[in-house]
Amino acid sequence: MHYFDYRNDELFAEDVPLAEIARRHGTPFYVYSARTLRRHFRVFDEAFAGADHLVCYAMKALSNLSILGLFASMGSGFDIVSGGELARCLRAGADPARIVFSGVGKTDEEIAAALGAGILMLNVESGPEMRRVSEVAGRMKKNAPVSLRVNPDLDPGTHPHISTGHRDSKFGVPLSQVFEYYAEARSLPNLDIVGLSTHIGSQITETAPFAEAANKVASIVERLRADGFALKHLDLGGGLGIPYQEEPPPPALYAKSLLEPLKNLGLSIIVEPGRVLVGNAGVLVTKVLYIKETDVKRFIVVDGAMNDLIRPVLYEAYHAILPVRRRAARSAVVADVVGPVCESGDFFARERELPEPESGDLLAVMSAGAYGFVMASNYNSRPRAPEILVDGSEAHVIRERETFDDLVRAEKLVILKTK
Ligand code: LLP
C-alpha cells in the first residue's frame, strides 16, 4: 500500500506530480511519501498492540535525518548498526532509551558512544565481543545492558545475501553455544543481561520461518529463566517482506506468528522492521536518454544507474517500472532498462515488458525506498541523487543533489615529482 497513484495518466506522489519534481530538481531523484511512511508505521505498530512492545526502525534501510525525525516523532525506537547510525538518529531526535545496537563488529569507540548515550541495549554477537563490551563498560564505570543474539539455524527462504539465520552465517551465537555464553556473561563484570535477540533475514514472504524462530527462542528463554536469568526484552529482529512481485503476509498475521509462541513469557517484545516501513514509500525517478536497438535486444538507456540503486544486480531484485506519464495507444516492448555506468551489471530490469518509451520520458522505479539511496555510491564519479519528501502537496528537498565539489571534498591533489 502506498500513495503513488495516477491522476489523469500522470504519476503523483500524494498530491505532487512526479514530472513537476523532475522539472524543478532534475533527474534522477528519490522521492518518498510521508503519508505512506506514517501509515506503514501505524499499521505495523498496531499489529503488535496486544503485546508490550517497542518498534525499533532498522534505520539502515533509509537513514535520511528527516525520515528518522518523522519516525521518532511517532514514538519509534531505532535499530542501529554503527556509530554513524547512532549519531544520525540522535541528531534526528531519537530517544536513546529506545535504541538497540546490532551488528557483529562493534568497535570500542562505538560501544563507548552507545553506552555514553544510554541506549536500551547492545545485541552482542560473539564471546569476544561480549568480553570487549564488559571491558569498555568497566573503563567507563558503567553497566552495559546487553542481549545475546542467537542464530536460530533456520532457512528463511530468501536470497542468500540477505539470509542471516542459518548456522553458516556470520551472525549471532550458535544454538549449541548459547547457554555457555549466557553463563559467561553472568560471570563478567559490568554487564546487565537484559535480553535475547535474533534476526533471521530480510524480504521474508511467509510466516512459517518467523514462527519457527519464535518457537526456538521461546524454549531458550524458558531454560535461561529456569537458570535464573531475569530477561526483560526479546528482540525478534526485522525481515518482513514487501510486495515487489510476491505477496508477503500482512503485518497483523506476521505479528501473530511471532507473538503466539511467546505469549506466556511476559517479555517486552522488540521488533526491528526496516524494509516494510519504507520500501514502498519511495521511488526512484529517472529519465530515458536513448532507446538503443541491437540485432538481438532493445535497451532503454536511462540517466539513473546501479550507483543509485544496486538491488537489481546485487540480489536479482525485481522493481516494477512505471511510466510517469501514461500514454494511450503505446504498444508494449520488451527491453533491458540500463544505466550509463560501465558495467554489464548496471541494469534496473532485464527483458521487461513495458509501454514503449521515448527519449525524454520519465520512468519511476518503484519500491525503492528501502536499501535504495542508502546503498548508493559515487561509482563512475556520479553525484548521488537528491532525496525529496512529499507531504500532501508539499515537496521538501531533504538531501540535495551532490555536486562535483562534494565528490572531491576529502581528496588532496598530491602531484608527485616525476623520477
Ligand atoms: N535487524 C537486523 C539485525 C538486520 O540485520 C536487518 C537487516 C533488519 C533488522 C531489518 O531487516 P528488514 O526489516 O529491512 O528486512 N540490502 C538488502 C537488505 C539487507 C538487510 C540487512 N539487515 C536489500 O536491499 O535487500
Task: Determine the distance separating the centroid of ligand 1 and the alpha carbon of 146, expressed in angstroms.
Answer: 21
Q: What is the pLDDT of residue 168?
A: 74
pLDDT, block means (10 residues), the chain with 419 residues: 96 98 98 98 97 98 98 98 98 98 96 98 95 98 97 80 73 89 96 96 95 95 95 97 94 96 94 98 98 96 98 97 91 96 97 96 98 98 98 98 98 94
Q: What is the pLDDT of residue 328?
A: 82
SS3 22: helix
Atom of ligand 1 nearest to the CA of 277: 13
Judgement on whether residues 149 and 242 belong to the same structural domain of the protein = yes
Q: What is the pLDDT of residue 158?
A: 76
Per the CB < 8 A criterion, the answer to whether 57 and 46 are in contact is no
Please check whether residue 69 lies inside any domain of the structure.
no
Q: What is the pLDDT of residue 155?
A: 77
Q: What is the pLDDT of residue 248?
A: 95
User: CB-side exposure of 279: number of CA atoms within 13 Å?
Assistant: 22
Number of domains in the chain: 2
Q: Is the link from the previous residue into 174 a cis peptide, with omega within 30 of 0?
A: no
Judgement on whether residues 238 and 111 belong to the same structural domain of the protein = yes
Give the residue numbers spanning the domain of 352.
4-32+279-408
Judgement on whether residues 144 and 285 belong to the same structural domain of the protein = no
* CATH code for the domain in which residue 309 is found: 2.40.37.10
Atom of ligand 1 nearest to the CA of 279: 14
Ligand 1 first shell, C-beta below 6 A: 58, 61, 79, 102, 162, 164, 199, 202-203, 237-240, 272-276, 311, 315, 371
Instruction: Give, in degrees to the nearest 5, the angle at Cα 139 between 150 and 235.
Output: 20
Distance CA 180, CA 215 (A): 20
Distances in Å between the Cα of 210 and the Cα atoms of 43, 107, 152, 171, 407 are 19, 30, 11, 17, 42
Task: Determine the distance separating the centroid of ligand 1 and the alpha carbon of 163, expressed in angstroms.
Answer: 9
Task: Determine the distance separating the centroid of ligand 1 and the alpha carbon of 161, expressed in angstroms.
Answer: 10
Please check whether residue 418 lies inside any domain of the structure.
no
Per the CB < 8 A criterion, the answer to whether 298 and 335 are in contact is yes
- For the entire predicted model, the pTM comes to 0.97
Specify the residue with its C-alpha closest to ligand 1, atom 7: 202
Judgement on whether residues 158 and 298 belong to the same structural domain of the protein = no
Q: Best of 60, 62, 67 to mutate for ligand 1, by most ligand atoms within 8 A of CB?
A: 60
Please check whether residue 44 lies inside any domain of the structure.
no
Distances in Å between the Cα of 170 and the Cα atoms of 78, 254, 295, 346 are 22, 25, 45, 28
Specify the residue with its C-alpha closest to ligand 1, atom 23: 371
CA-based Rg of the chain, rounded to a whole angstrom? 23
Judgement on whether residues 298 and 183 belong to the same structural domain of the protein = no
Atom of ligand 1 nearest to the CA of 371: 24
Judgement on whether residues 259 and 286 belong to the same structural domain of the protein = no
Task: Determine the distance separating the centroid of ligand 1 and the alpha carbon of 93, expressed in angstroms.
Answer: 22
Instruction: Give, in degrees to the nearest 5, the angle at Cα 64 between 62 and 66.
Output: 120
Q: Point out the domain boundary residue: 203, 237, 271.
A: 271
Q: What is the pLDDT of residue 153?
A: 83
Q: Point out the domain boundary residue: 209, 241, 271.
A: 271
Atom of ligand 1 nearest to the CA of 275: 14
Judgement on whether residues 152 and 262 belong to the same structural domain of the protein = yes
Per the CB < 8 A criterion, the answer to whether 282 and 31 are in contact is yes
Q: Best of 100, 151, 272, 309 to mutate for ligand 1, by most ligand atoms within 8 A of CB?
A: 272
Q: What is the pLDDT of residue 330?
A: 79
Q: What is the pLDDT of residue 169?
A: 76
Specify the residue with its C-alpha closest to ligand 1, atom 2: 237
Q: At what angle do helices 83-91 and 108-117 cross, to 10 degrees?
A: 30
Task: Determine the distance separating the centroid of ligand 1 and the alpha carbon of 275, expressed in angstroms.
Answer: 7
Judgement on whether residues 147 and 227 belong to the same structural domain of the protein = yes
Residues in the chain: 419
Q: What is the pLDDT of residue 133?
A: 98
Contacts of 365 (CB under 8 A, 6+ apart): 283, 284, 285, 286, 304, 309, 319, 320, 321, 348
Specify the residue with its C-alpha closest to ligand 1, atom 16: 371
Atom of ligand 1 nearest to the CA of 375: 16
Q: Point out the domain boundary residue: 233, 252, 271.
A: 271
* CATH code for the domain in which residue 189 is found: 3.20.20.10
Dihedral sign of CA atoms 219, 249, 45, 102 in order: positive
In angstroms, how far is the first alpha carbon of the chain from the final one? Answer: 63
Residues marked active site are found at: 342
Per the CB < 8 A criterion, the answer to whether 103 and 125 are in contact is yes
Cell 548498526 belongs to which residue? 81
Judgement on whether residues 219 and 298 belong to the same structural domain of the protein = no
Task: Determine the distance separating the centroid of ligand 1 and the alpha carbon of 121, expressed in angstroms.
Answer: 19
